[in-house]
Amino acid sequence: MAQREEDVVYVKTVATGSMEPVTISQWTNHGFNALIRDAMALFASTKGGTLSITGTPEYGRVTVAMRGECLMDMVWGRMTAAEAHGDIAHIRRPERVPGAAASAG
């Protein structure tokens, strides 16, 4: 991931709309792997749910669902603070994941 000093990865919880800015170094050294690890652990605990990981470390989405209920739905995108303007709603989200309808937003 080519890095510019002002770049940040914004991680958004889709259900609540809350966003957290993460520096590129934090994201590449820990954040991305931790998010995927947490999603995989949650998926394993469902014993039959669905897990969807789409995108790249720069832009993507991870969703975990069970019996039509969305348990985790996170989207992330890399941009500068100037591009973000406090909102990442314009980040192109990967296709809708079955079972994730409850998190639309």
Tens digit of each residue's pLDDT (9 = 90 or more) over 84-96? 655 545 555 445 4
Collapse the DSSP code of 15 into the 3-class scheme (helix H, G, I; strand E, B; otherwise coil) and give the result: coil
- Nearest Cα to Cα of residue 12 among 87, 85, 64: 87
pLDDT, one tens digit per residue, over 50-91 is: 999 999 999 999 999 999 899 999 999 988 766 765 554 555
**58: which 2 tokens?**
């720069």
For residue 104, what pLDDT is reported?
39
